Amino acid sequence: MKAEFAAVLVMGALIAGCTAGGDISGPGLEPIPGSITYSGQPRTKLTKSPIGSSFPHTFYDNRGREVEETYIIRPDRSLMIANRVYRPFFDFDDDR
């Protein structure tokens, strides 16, 4: 019984660790300052873009972090934030 309980705790910790990180996604994302939809939906409609298509938007938040959001165009031509990624301050893979 104790071994089963310990296994459940370990699995829970592993699952929680998989969701931690800088990549945030899901339809419930709220706009942050710098997001295209922060002040509401854009006044111009994206009439030439196909419904369901996506596009990125990169900006810096109020803490100086680089943020990349991916938007999806809904059937009513409004935008939904599908994904948000916070980029690290320092990129150690840079070959400069």
- Answering whether pTM is above 0.85, one says no
Res. 1 pLDDT band, cuts 50 70 90? low
Position 17 pLDDT exceeds 70: no
Predicted local confidence at residue 31, as pLDDT:
93
Q: Residues 28-85: pLDDT tens digits?
A: 699 999 999 998 998 888 888 899 999 999 999 988 899 999 999 999 999 999 999 9
SS3 readout for the chain: CHHHHHHHHHHHHHHHHHHCCCEEECCCCCCCCCCCCCCCCCCCCCCCCCCCCEEEEEEECCCCCEEEEEEEECCCCCEEEEEEEECCCCCCCCCC
Predicted local confidence at residue 88, as pLDDT:
81
